[in-house]
Amino acid sequence: MADLGCSIAGIESINPFWLASAPPTDKQYNVERAFAGGWGGVVWKTLGEDPPVVNVTSRYGVHKDTARGILGINNIELISDRPLEVNLREIEQVRKNYPDRIIIGSMMAPVEEVLWKDLAIKIANTGVHGIELNLGCPHGMCERGMGSAIGQVPKMVQDTTRWVREAVGDLPVFTKLTPNTTDILLPAEAALAGDADAVALINTVNSIIGVDLDVMAPNPVLDGKGTHGGYCGSAVKPIALHMVAEIARNGTTQDLDISAIGGITNWRDAAEFIALGANALQVCTAAMLYGFRIIEDLNDGLSDFMDGKGYRSIDDFRGAAIANTVNWNDLNMNFDLKARIDQEKCIECGRCHIVCEDTSHQAITMQGNKTGGRDFTVVDADCVGCNLCLHVCPVPDCITMVAQDNDLPYLTWPEHPKNSGVV
């Protein structure tokens, strides 16, 4: 059985699954339930200086697919609304009760050196394994000059990270980044310049989750009004994968450890982030939708995957997909795929035909057959191998994309004869 232990910023964790700083890690009761259930660590819900913030009622909105599954949650909750002292004493207690589990203290403060340092020291003194700077909250706190208001300015990212580093000495420092920025490398480089051990990303995506068409206000509606909030859950996973990959494969940031966050719902998501270079993972929305027991299959599924591939430890495949994550200009222009439809598996729904006909390359014909059904056939000359048919087909493995053996060499756009050099 594979070893799920992982190492990030010098911290050894029994498994890579930590609960992210959020409602599930708001207090001792929840955190101890999570540890009892098997989670490797938590990032405690973000702490600020007293007096604590006051939260509103109605805090979540959701985005659903047509089968009523929840694709993402948007929240407008602020940081911990409990007194700082209560949180600190509970952290101490949980550290004693679960000595083998990781607790990271998340914090935020206005952009004043003394405030950051005072709070960081208070949290460090509880015995946490590290400090995470919350520079990403895109709602409420940013209106007070904190959260994403800091995370969107590289200089402030660097300064706050540096202040915490100076305050806590050797204790691991995680800088949590906001995705609400044009280029994730800029704040990542700033975190590195501020001497962070690791970056944690992504924080939530700024969003309006929907509009109540009766009230004519954004969801969730509070007394007739709504506001933008932070979007998370499986819908944001692709955004997070990209940002993690950019940091992992970029020369100026690749030495940062990465605590990956963003829609991790199952073991496959976890493996994908690890393959793109994540050292450890943070989960929130999936637990908020199903409870802490999802850790069982996160652990079991990841372990089973690793066993199947012969990976004995996380490091055996960590970053394995980085080298294959390239710029568009490095792709092989001579690679040629054609769709193939398995007529035995086809249930004749016609989806591949109509999407290709209406929106792509008119490369799948539909013809009535002798048994009263319809035959769907790929026209190779018109098929550009785009994969659309494969994705809309409801039957597993009915449509496959087959690489054509054309004996042509690997040829990139910069080398391509049609490249005029203008663009």
Closer to other proteins by CB, 85 or 348: give it. Answer: 348
Shortest gap between Cβ of 400 and other proteins (angstroms)? 17
Determine the Cα–Cα distance for residues 51 and 49; give it in Å rounded to an integer: 6
Determine the Cα–Cα distance for residues 24 and 45; give it in Å rounded to an integer: 8
Shortest gap between Cβ of 368 and other proteins (angstroms)? 10
In single-letter form, the type of residue at position 91 comes to I
Yes or no: say if 337 and 403 are a contact pair by the CB < 8 Å rule.
Answer: yes
Shortest gap between Cβ of 367 and other proteins (angstroms)? 11
Closer to other proteins by CB, 66 or 327: give it. Answer: 66
What six digits make up the tokens of 31?
């955190």
Helices (H), ranges, 22-83: 28-37
* CA end-to-end span of the chain: 51
Shortest gap between Cβ of 366 and other proteins (angstroms)? 7
If one counts every other C-beta atom within 10 angstroms of the C-beta of residue 216, the result is 10
* Residues that are catalytic: 137
Q: Is 375 helix (H, G, I), strand (E, B) or coil?
A: strand
Yes or no: say if 205 and 179 are a contact pair by the CB < 8 Å rule.
Answer: yes
Question: Interface with other proteins by CB under 8 A: which residues?
Answer: 66-68, 347-351, 353-354, 366, 373-374, 394-395
Radius of gyration of the chain (CA): 24
Q: Which helix (H) or strand (E) holds 353?
A: helix 351-359
In single-letter form, the type of residue at position 291 comes to G
Closer to other proteins by CB, 19 or 352: give it. Answer: 352
Closer to other proteins by CB, 14 or 392: give it. Answer: 392
Shortest gap between Cβ of 347 and other proteins (angstroms)? 4
Yes or no: say if 274 and 16 are a contact pair by the CB < 8 Å rule.
Answer: yes
DSSP letters of 3-24? B--EEETTEEESSSEEE-SSGG
Closer to other proteins by CB, 125 or 343: give it. Answer: 343
Closest by CA position to 153, among listed 138, 165, 135, 132: 135
Closer to other proteins by CB, 53 or 392: give it. Answer: 392
Shortest gap between Cβ of 219 and other proteins (angstroms)? 15
